[in-house]
Amino acid sequence: MTVTNALASLAVRDLRSASEWYERILGPGSQPMTEVVEWQMEGGGGLQVYAAPERAGHGSCTLVVSDIDEVIRQLEGAGVATVEPTRTDQVDVIMIQDPDGNSLAFAKPKDPSLVQ
């Protein structure tokens, strides 16, 4: 088997309010099905949020970014509280939680081969 891409999905309590929150961070999403909102990533892959109140808040995903400091500015501009990023020789990371408690990591690898 060869996997050529991946799609992360996070359960939320209320799709409408969750999609509004995610759109403040990621921009407009698309709605391929009534119960799903998704964002396609420039380098491939994507993120979906879907209504499943019984599972909401137990997910996590990592979004690879090109500039961690820009992410911090965007999050703060969207009214999302941030903390100082963790910076190592391999990667810079900032962790946040959506309103349901799902964890989102924004990661800037310093070695481009880690993103392939």
Task: Output DSSP code: residue 91.
Answer: E
pLDDT tens-digit series, residues 18-48:
999 999 999 999 999 999 999 999 888 999 9
Residues 5, 62, 107: CA angle, nearest 5 degrees: 110
To the nearest whole number, what is the mean pLDDT of the chain?
Answer: 92
Q: Name the residue ranges covered by the structural domains of the chain.
A: 7-115
The DSSP line for 31-74 is EEETTEEEEE-TTS-EEEEEE-TTTTT--EEEEE-S-HHHHHHH
pTM, rounded to two decimals:
0.89
Task: Write down the pLDDT at residue 115.
Answer: 63
Task: Write down the pLDDT at residue 43.
Answer: 81
Given a cut of 80, whether residue 103 has pLDDT beyond it is yes
Given a cut of 90, whether residue 102 has pLDDT beyond it is yes
Q: Which CATH architecture has domain 7-115?
A: Roll (3.10)
Please provide the size of the chain in residues.
116
CB-CB contact of 52 with 12 (8 Å):
yes
Q: For residues 69-94, give the mean pLDDT.
A: 93
Q: How far is CA 85 from CA 41, 71, 108, 113, in A?
A: 22, 10, 10, 21
